[in-house]
């Protein structure tokens, strides 16, 4: 397996303000507390993986960071400002699980449309064209640039969404399961692209996945379970700390430990009752 950590030598000084700083971050959806008092930082110039089982709160956390989630409490600073500030919009790229592209436009037309929003005006025409061409190349869709988005495969459509997010050279890229449904070669190429974006552009990437082998490609991991952070560490440190061969084994061990701890707590509560 390729590990991007070696190639991901960041230009960002270690004491730089983190891209995201959360303290006591909670979110209530319906009557449920879906995120429960989370504390974490997301550094610049690195890929942070957000991993955990379906329903643990990954998308909710990502929506909170990009400012589209209601009922967020606690402190959540993004690029030094409160999450959701209007000035952050052009500095963040966000790709949701459902590709948001216009089916009746070609790949290039989709990107030109979004580029006009990001870089309006006649004077920016050349920059728009260059950014569109670069973003299409980044996601390896040059051969499909003139195909209608509606005629693309699911994986190709998600790559168009990713290209849109890359248009404005964002400082923070938030990618919700960007490799779902992609073949192994494309997955490898996309992870290599993520590594380059972090290393060369100094961007912070927050990438969610429930495929544990992708964790090995991140510099840091936030492992989540049931709205809480189970671990916040590098893959190497996680494996070493739990005596596991893989991040998946480390995660399972941490889940078992958390369950055992919860069972002990409830036993001692029953004894004192």
Residues that bind ligand ATP (CB under 6 A): 29-30, 32, 34, 54-60, 210
Question: Residue 29 or 81: which CB sits closer to ligand ATP?
Answer: 29
**C-alpha span between 160 and 154 (Å, rounded):** 10
Which residue is closest to ligand ATP by CB?
Answer: 30
How many Cα atoms sit within 13 Å of 209 on the Cβ side? 24
Backbone angles phi, psi at 52, to 5 degrees: 165, 165
As given in the structure block, the two tokens for residue 140 are 């390896």
Contacts of 147 (CB under 8 A, 6+ apart): 106, 107
Question: Residue 57 or 168: which CB sits closer to ligand ATP?
Answer: 57
Q: What is the nearest approach in angstroms of ligand ATP to the Cβ of residue 160?
A: 20
Pick from 85, 86, 80, 42: nearest CA to 61: 42
Pick from 168, 175, 232, 250: nearest CA to 205: 175
CB 36 within 8 A of CB 221: no
Question: Residue 32 or 126: which CB sits closer to ligand ATP?
Answer: 32
CB 213 within 8 A of CB 236: no
Pick from 217, 159, 166, 222: nearest CA to 188: 217
Question: Residue 110 or 208: which CB sits closer to ligand ATP?
Answer: 208
Q: What is the nearest approach in angstroms of ligand ATP to the Cβ of residue 32?
A: 4
Question: Residue 42 or 111: which CB sits closer to ligand ATP?
Answer: 42
Question: Residue 111 or 221: which CB sits closer to ligand ATP?
Answer: 221
CB 149 within 8 A of CB 198: no
Q: What is the nearest approach in angstroms of ligand ATP to the Cβ of residue 78?
A: 18
Q: What is the nearest approach in angstroms of ligand ATP to the Cβ of residue 208?
A: 7
Question: Residue 32 or 259: which CB sits closer to ligand ATP?
Answer: 32
Burial annotation 75-111 (CB, 10 A radius, 16+ → b, else e): ebbbbeeebbeeebeebbbbbbeebebeeebbbbbbb
CA distances to 64, 137, 209, 244 from 230, rounded to whole Å, are 19, 37, 15, 16
Q: What is the nearest approach in angstroms of ligand ATP to the Cβ of residue 253?
A: 20
Q: What is the nearest approach in angstroms of ligand ATP to the Cβ of residue 248?
A: 16
Q: What is the nearest approach in angstroms of ligand ATP to the Cβ of residue 50?
A: 9
């Amino acid at each position: 397996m390729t590990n991007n950590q070696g190639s991901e030598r960041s230009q960002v000084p270690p004491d730089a303000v983190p891209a995201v700083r959360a303290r006591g971050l909670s979110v209530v959806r319906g009557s449920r507390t879906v995120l429960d008092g989370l504390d974490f930082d997301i550094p610049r110039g690195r890929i942070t993986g957000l991993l955990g089982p379906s329903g643990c709160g990954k998308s909710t956390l990502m929506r909170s960071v990009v400012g589209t989630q209601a009922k967020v409490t606690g402190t959540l600073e993004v690029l030094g400002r409160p999450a959701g500030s209007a000035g952050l919009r052009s500095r963040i790229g966000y790709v949701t699980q459902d590709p948001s592209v216009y089916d009746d436009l070609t790949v290039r037309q989709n990107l030109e449309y979004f580029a006009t929003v990001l870089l309006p005006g006649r004077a920016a025409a050349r920059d728009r064209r260059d950014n569109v061409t670069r973003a299409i190349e980044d996601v390896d869709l040059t051969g499909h640039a003139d195909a209608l988005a509606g005629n693309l495969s699911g994986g190709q459509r998600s790559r168009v969404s990713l290209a849109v997010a890359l248009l404005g050279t964002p400082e923070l890229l938030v990618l919700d399961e960007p490799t779902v449904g992609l073949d192994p070669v494309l997955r490898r190429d996309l992870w290599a692209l993520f590594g380059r974006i972090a290393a060369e552009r100094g961007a912070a990437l927050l990438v969610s996945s429930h495929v544990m082998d992708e964790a090995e490609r991140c510099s840091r991991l936030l492992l989540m379970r049931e709205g809480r952070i189970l671990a916040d560490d590098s893959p190497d440190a996680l494996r070493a700390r739990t005596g596991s061969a893989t991040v998946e084994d480390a995660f399972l061990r941490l889940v078992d430990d958390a369950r055992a701890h919860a069972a002990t707590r409830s036993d001692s509560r029953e004894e004192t009752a």
